[in-house]
Amino acid sequence: MRSTPTRRAAILAGIGTVMTAAVLAAAHPTMATTTAAPPDISVTNVKAHLQKFSDIAAANSGTRAHGTPGYEASVDYVKGKLDAAGFTTSKQSFTHNGKTGYNLIADFPGRGDANQVVMLGAHLDSVTAGAGVNDNGSGSAMILEIALRYAAGTDAGTKSLRFGWWGAEELGLVGSEYYVDNLSATERTKIKSYLNFDMTGSINGGYFVYSEDPTRGAAIKTAIESAFTGRNIDPDDANLNSRSDHAAFIGASIPSGGIASLSLDPTKSAAQAAKWGGTAGAAYDPCYHKACDTLSNINDTVLDTIGDVAAVAAWNLAGIGAGTPTPSPTATATPTASPTPGGNTYTNANDVAITDNATAESPIAVSRTGTAGTVQVAVDIKHTYRGDLVLSLVAPDGSVYPLEDFANNDSTANVLRTYTVDASSEAAGGTWKLRVVDGASNDVGKIDSWGLTFAGATTSPSPTTSPSATTSPSSNVFTNAADVTIGDNTTVESPIAVTRAGNAPSALKVAVDVKHTYRGDLVISLVAPDGSVYLLEDFANNDSAANVARTYTVNASSEVANGTWKLRVADVAGGDVGKIDSWTLTF
């Protein structure tokens, strides 16, 4: 947030649009438009982004200020996350004080009405004195996580969401003003609401709503206040006197508002401390514009609450509600509804409860001769915190094949994945079990369903074995076993040329074998021949395990099969490297 007030020199020329009451009403849906809950924004994931901003500052003289390598590295980190999730991003450059600055703009293609935009924004730069973790890493990390959850969803809504990260805010709102000034009159009128988030995790913070334009900002203010009320929180009004990036949008007659965790008052009042907690008479942020604005300067509860409220307000204003965002973007396959004992696939769709600190098992009786060979294990688990879980496949003779240990640091809900197991030493016939160990308290769930598919014409090889060095153009399986080095803060790709008629299947199997010393740095995607990007996994920067050996299922039925497919791996941090060892496509 800027330390001194500023006003735009003049009203932007060329707008020429007077928004009537009827236009305003059409631009803002009522709260009743949402029929499904917006995503719960994981504070763990937001804190992981803040950790990256902190690491970037530490590697760049302790700052992420305009014109410094730390600022551009921050932009590139956010851009890498968005690109991997399927956003169309634009890195808009400008010059201020003789230094190049950047805005980053992100739209999700094909989602919502591009002529009606609800925009969320936050400034990404810090002051030169420090890393700016609260001011304004907090707002930037929060809307990044909201954007990633939006990308993981399926509901288009009546309007589209756009996200913006502004440069040089601390030097006079330079980046946001540059963005607005360079919009055509037509593009300005497409932005129906702008929501600003500047300092959303103050250590002694509270909950403040601002619009500063009572007529145009009324619907935004109502949406935000309703979201707070739904959490039994009574927010206060604030007037930031145009000291943050919403000022540029207000100057362009774009409906604007926002949330902050502090006001312009120097200290928290006794009444505010009584209803929100914290220390009365103390500053909301004692490290404002200081070197001590680090990770220790963040109030997790405030940051978590504002993130959830922001998502609710944005979802309501955009009319998103016909569907629920996908909890896990890593797999889309659903086991078949009933077992087929004479075929390759066997399923158990009976619910099995998963309770705290307990082990649950779900059996499947297989009537099949010979050895098991390569087995696909499709898992559908509903659980409120999968970081508690360890998954295994138990063979009829009691042999245990680990599927996944979520390492107690994955705050995402649910597991919807397909694993590949080399069970060639096992007899296929007998009772197989999915074993789920819940190793912690406070979160429970159920095995919703799971399935076994034994090797056949459409089964992909295990990613833990070395795929064939060559491909057969007439087969279902195409592999690239050539190593591709993954360096720090780089994006690499490994190609596979597919010669095959028709479209790709709705259950395209992507077997990935990546060697890496810290997979929490990685974002993995499949790129189709036409350039479409399918996110396979974002390890959320908090998974400290090594390597990735998994099979993902992608609905690629809209894609032509023939052409060059690519596995894209983005390493978004320093300190750990690796390689794409091999990967396989099974059509």
* Residue showing tokens 């992981």: 48
Label residue 332 by pLDDT band (50, 70, 90): very low
Cis peptide before 136 (omega within 30 of 0): yes
Each residue's pLDDT tens digit, 464-475: 333 333 333 335
Q: Cβ–Cβ contacts within 10 Å for residue 229, how many?
A: 12
HEC assignment per residue over 153-222:
CCCCCCCEEEEEEECCHHHCCHHHHHHHHCCCHHHHHHEEEEEEECCCCECCCCCEEECCCCCCCHHHHH
**Catalytic (active-site) positions:** 169
The residues facing 169 across adjacent strands are none
Gap between the Cα atoms of 212 and 390, Å rounded: 50
Per-residue confidence (pLDDT) for residue 440, from 0 to 100: 82
Each residue's pLDDT tens digit, 105-134: 999 999 999 999 999 999 999 999 999 999
The most confident of the ranges 168-172, 358-362, 380-384 is 168-172
Largest CA distance in the chain: 81
Hey, what are 585's tokens? 């496509």
Per-residue confidence (pLDDT) for residue 343, from 0 to 100: 53
pLDDT at residue 15 tops 80: no
Q: What is the mean pLDDT of residues 20-34?
A: 31
Gap between the Cα atoms of 162 and 574, Å rounded: 29
Whole-number percent of the chain with pLDDT over 90: 48
Task: Assess contact for 41 and 308: CB atoms under 8 A.
Answer: yes
Exposure string over 15-41, b if 16+ CB within 10 A, otherwise e: eeeebeeeeeeebbbeeebbeeebbbb
| DSSP 3-state of 523 | strand
Instruction: Indicate the pTM of the whole model.
Output: 0.55
| DSSP 3-state of 269 | coil
Per-residue confidence (pLDDT) for residue 547, from 0 to 100: 85
Per-residue confidence (pLDDT) for residue 32, from 0 to 100: 30
Residues in the chain: 587
Per-residue confidence (pLDDT) for residue 507, from 0 to 100: 83
Cα–Cα–Cα angle for 370, 371, 375, rounded to 5 degrees: 130
Per-residue confidence (pLDDT) for residue 192, from 0 to 100: 95
Residue 357 or residue 277, greater confidence: 277
Q: What is the mean pLDDT of residues 364-372?
A: 88
Per-residue confidence (pLDDT) for residue 67, from 0 to 100: 97
Per-residue confidence (pLDDT) for residue 321, from 0 to 100: 66
Burial of 98 (0-12, 13-18, 19+ CB in 10 A): exposed
Hey, what are 403's tokens? 């599927």
Each residue's pLDDT tens digit, 56-65: 999 999 999 9
Label residue 407 by pLDDT band (50, 70, 90): low
Per-residue confidence (pLDDT) for residue 541, from 0 to 100: 54
Gap between the Cα atoms of 198 and 190, Å rounded: 23
Hey, what are 391's tokens? 């998954």
Task: Assess contact for 441 and 358: CB atoms under 8 A.
Answer: no
Q: What is the mean pLDDT of residues 439-455?
A: 85
Residue 488 or residue 79, greater confidence: 79
Per-residue confidence (pLDDT) for residue 542, from 0 to 100: 63
Going across the sheet that includes 563-571, the strands are 491-498, 563-571, 522-527, 533-538
Label residue 33 by pLDDT band (50, 70, 90): very low
pLDDT at residue 334 tops 70: no
Each residue's pLDDT tens digit, 191-226: 999 999 999 999 999 999 998 888 889 999 999 999
Gap between the Cα atoms of 214 and 235, Å rounded: 17
Residue 391 or residue 200, greater confidence: 200
Which residue in 443, 451, 379, 378 sits closest to 410, CA to CA?
Answer: 443
Which runs of consecutive H residues, i.e. helices, occur in 401-541?
none
Label residue 455 by pLDDT band (50, 70, 90): confident
Each residue's pLDDT tens digit, 271-310: 999 999 999 999 999 999 999 999 999 999 999 999 999 9
DSSP 521: G
Least confident span in 20-29, 38-47, 281-290:
20-29
Q: What is the mean pLDDT of residues 399-413?
A: 77
CA distances from 310 to 114, 259, 388, 403, 422 (A): 21, 8, 28, 36, 45
pLDDT at residue 14 tops 60: no
Each residue's pLDDT tens digit, 314-325: 999 999 863 333
Task: Assess contact for 88 and 161: CB atoms under 8 A.
Answer: no
Name the average pLDDT for the chain.
83
Q: For 175, how many CA atoms within 13 A lie in the half-sphere containing its CB?
A: 32
Least confident span in 219-223, 235-239, 531-535:
531-535
Per-residue confidence (pLDDT) for residue 37, from 0 to 100: 55
Each residue's pLDDT tens digit, 127-161: 999 999 999 999 999 999 999 999 988 777 899 99
Which residue in 104, 550, 50, 12 sits closest to 328, CA to CA?
Answer: 550
The most confident of the ranges 80-89, 155-164, 195-204, 390-399 is 195-204
Which residue in 363, 579, 370 sits closest to 481, CA to CA?
Answer: 579
Q: For 427, how many CA atoms within 13 A lie in the half-sphere containing its CB?
A: 9
pLDDT at residue 5 tops 70: no
Per-residue confidence (pLDDT) for residue 475, from 0 to 100: 57
* Residue showing tokens 């307000």: 313
Label residue 6 by pLDDT band (50, 70, 90): very low
Gap between the Cα atoms of 372 and 363, Å rounded: 16
Per-residue confidence (pLDDT) for residue 409, from 0 to 100: 63
